[in-house]
């Protein structure tokens, strides 16, 4: 006797047609009663539909890719959790990839994406070259970019105004009476590095503060280890009374180097980070940090991608998340104005 398929057994147990079982298990519309009976029958029989077979049949993988430069960076960890939450609620699985900061590696990743392992992509590139833009434009699935893009490049896009965020940091330090405000940046040839340098120059100029080359250092990366090297360079050549750092990892590195030198934070040197990650709150002293809305950016990007998947012809949307400043122990309170 021919052995019945599990799909047939589910249909018999639920008292519905095989077509109805297939609709429910493929996530297609069905009445509440039919859906409930099919799911109960499938659970009782231990039936788990093949994701591969289902994706071939409906033409979807039900997977969304998230590509970031460094999965160890706490900003990207926060983004990953929020993107996962949003796409899971929409019925998708999240596939995470650490592409590094080299655009050629990201281009290779996009080539793999075109082979069909995901229905859409959220990418946060550190460097945006003409070659990367061309590869993005040739990608066969919808793409949402977290970060700034060159003028005229049309993608759904979510970004933070990090230059304005640096301005908030400098303003806070000026109000606290600091006059020698240094800057530890990441690589200036990256999107965030360029934006944060521009914000520092603009803010210092606005407040009449001198721009001194010895008061600026650029790390080779946005990591703690690279930050230590940059901090040693900065404090070996200058004596600031405050330092703004391009992210919280660099700020922790700056405080480590200051501690090694016996310099007190914030009494002698105030420190401000950026991204307002858990690291800023857990550090001792806790770090004043610019909140660039990493969770908000992730949520907005995930929702834009879901919208694009559901409505391919929707107009391109660009979202800007406003920064804010979270004041903690690494900076002093603002000085009272002179009567």
- Dump pLDDT digits (tens) for 137-155: 999 899 999 999 998 899 9
Residue 114 has pLDDT above 50, yes or no: yes
Distance CA 95, CA 35 (A): 28
The stretches of the chain forming alpha helices (DSSP H) are 6-14, 18-25, 32-45, 51-58, 74-89, 103-113, 130-138, 162-175, 191-206, 224-237, 248-260, 278-282, 294-310
Ordered by start, the domain boundaries in the chain are 7-49, 59-160+294-321, 162-292
Tokens of 319: 């979202």
Quick check: 312 and 273 in contact, CB under 8 A? no
pLDDT greater than 50 at residue 61: yes
Rounded CA-CA distance 56/31 in Å is: 25
Q: How far apart are CA 181 and CA 242, in angstroms?
A: 5
Burial of 20 (0-12, 13-18, 19+ CB in 10 A): buried
C-alpha closest to that of 123 among 301, 272, 328: 301
Q: With 60 as the cut, is the pLDDT of residue 2 above it?
A: no
Range 29-64 burial, b when 16+ CB lie within 10 A, else e? ebeeebbebbbebbeeeebebeeeebbeeeebbbbb
| pLDDT of 110 over the 90 cut | no
- Give the H or E element holding residue 125: none
The mean-pLDDT minimum among 19-33, 117-131, 263-277, 292-306 falls in: 19-33
Q: Is the pLDDT of residue 167 over 70?
A: yes
Q: Which residues contact 204 (CB under 8 A, 6 or more apart)?
A: 170, 181, 210, 211
What is the mean pLDDT of the segment spanning 282-287?
Answer: 97
Q: Are 269 and 258 in contact (CB under 8 A)?
A: yes
* Span 300-318, pLDDT tens digits: 999 999 999 999 999 999 9
At the topology level, CATH places domain 7-49 in 434 Repressor (Amino-terminal Domain) (1.10.260)
- How confident is the model over 66-95, as a mean pLDDT? 92
Measured distance CA(259)–CA(229) in Å, rounded: 15
Q: What average pLDDT does this structure show over 266-278? A: 97
Residue range 60-87: mean pLDDT, rounded: 91
Could you tell me which CATH class the domain 59-160+294-321 is placed in?
A: alpha beta
How many CB atoms within 10 Å of residue 223?
A: 18
- CB-CB contact of 146 with 123 (8 Å): yes
Question: Quick one: pLDDT band at residue 288, thresholds 50, 70, 90?
Answer: very high
| pLDDT at res. 337 | 45
**Which residues, 6+ apart, have CB-to-CB distance to 82 below 8 Å?**
295, 298, 299, 302
Does position 338 have pLDDT exceeding 60, yes or no? Answer: no
Judged by average pLDDT, the poorest of 211-215, 234-238, 315-319, 334-338 is 334-338
DSSP assignment of 299-332 equals HHHHHHHHHHHH-TTSPP-EEEEPPEEE--TTSP
Q: Is 258 a residue whose pLDDT tops 50? A: yes
Topology agreement, domain 7-49 and domain 59-160+294-321:
no
Please tell me which residue, 201 or 50, carries the higher pLDDT value.
Answer: 201
Q: Which of 241, 153, 147 lies closest to 196 in space, CA to CA? A: 147
* Contact yes or no for 223/70 (Cβ under 8 A): yes
> In Å, what is the CA distance from 17 to each residue of 29, 114, 246, 275?
15, 36, 60, 54
Query: Is 85 a residue whose pLDDT tops 80?
Result: yes
- What are the structure tokens assigned to 5, written together? 């398929």
pLDDT tier for residue 4 given thresholds of 50, 70 and 90: low
Supply the pLDDT for residue 56.
44
Q: Say what the pLDDT of residue 172 is.
A: 98
Mean pLDDT of 170-187: 97
Give the CATH H-level superfamily of domain 162-292.
Response regulator (3.40.50.2300)
Residues 6+ apart with CB under 8 A from 174: 181, 207, 209
The answer to pTM > 0.75 is yes
Residues 6 or more apart whose CB falls under 8 angstroms from that of 219 comprise 184, 185, 186, 187, 226, 227, 229, 230, 246, 250
Query: If you search the block for the tokens 């409930």, which residue do you land on?
Result: 36
């Amino acid at each position: 006797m021919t052995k019945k398929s599990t799909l047939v057994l589910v249909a018999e147990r639920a008292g519905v047609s095989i077509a109805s079982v297939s609709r429910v298990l493929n996530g297609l519309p069905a009445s509440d009663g039919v859906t409930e009976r099919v799911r109960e029958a499938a659970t009782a029989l231990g039936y788990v539909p093949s994701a591969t077979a289902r994706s071939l049949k409906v033409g979807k993988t039900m997977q969304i890719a998230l590509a970031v430069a460094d999965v160890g960076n706490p900003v990207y960890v926060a983004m990953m959790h929020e993107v996962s939450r949003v796409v899971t609620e929409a019925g998708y699985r999240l596939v995470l990839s650490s592409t590094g900061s080299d655009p050629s590696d990201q281009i290779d990743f996009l080539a793999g994406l075109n082979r069909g392992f995901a229905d859409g992509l959220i990418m946060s590139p550190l460097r945006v070259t003409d070659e990367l833009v061309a590869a993005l434009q040739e990608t066969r699935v919808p793409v949402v970019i977290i970060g700034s893009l060159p003028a005229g490049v049309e993608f759904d896009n979510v970004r933070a105004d990090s230059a304005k965020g640096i301005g908030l940091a400098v303003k806070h330090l000026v109000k606290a009476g600091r006059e020698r405000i240094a800057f530890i940046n990441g690589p200036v040839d990256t999107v965030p590095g360029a934006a944060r340098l521009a914000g520092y120059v603009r803010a210092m100029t606005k407040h009449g503060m001198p721009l001194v080359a010895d008061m600026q250092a650029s790390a080779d990366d946005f990591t703690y280890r690279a930050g230590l090297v940059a901090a040693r360079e900065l404090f070996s050549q200058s004596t600031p009374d405050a330092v703004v750092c391009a992210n919280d990892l660099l700020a922790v590195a700056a405080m480590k180097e200051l501690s090694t030198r016996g310099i007190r934070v914030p009494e002698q040197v105030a420190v401000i980070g950026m991204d307002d990650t858990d690291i800023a709150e857990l550090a001792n002293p806790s770090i004043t940090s610019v909140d660039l809305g990493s969770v908000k950016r992730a949520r907005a990007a995930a929702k834009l991608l879901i919208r694009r998947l559901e409505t391919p012809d929707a107009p391109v949307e660009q979202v800007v998340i406003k920064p804010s400043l979270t004041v903690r122990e690494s900076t002093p309170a603002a000085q009272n104005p002179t009567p």
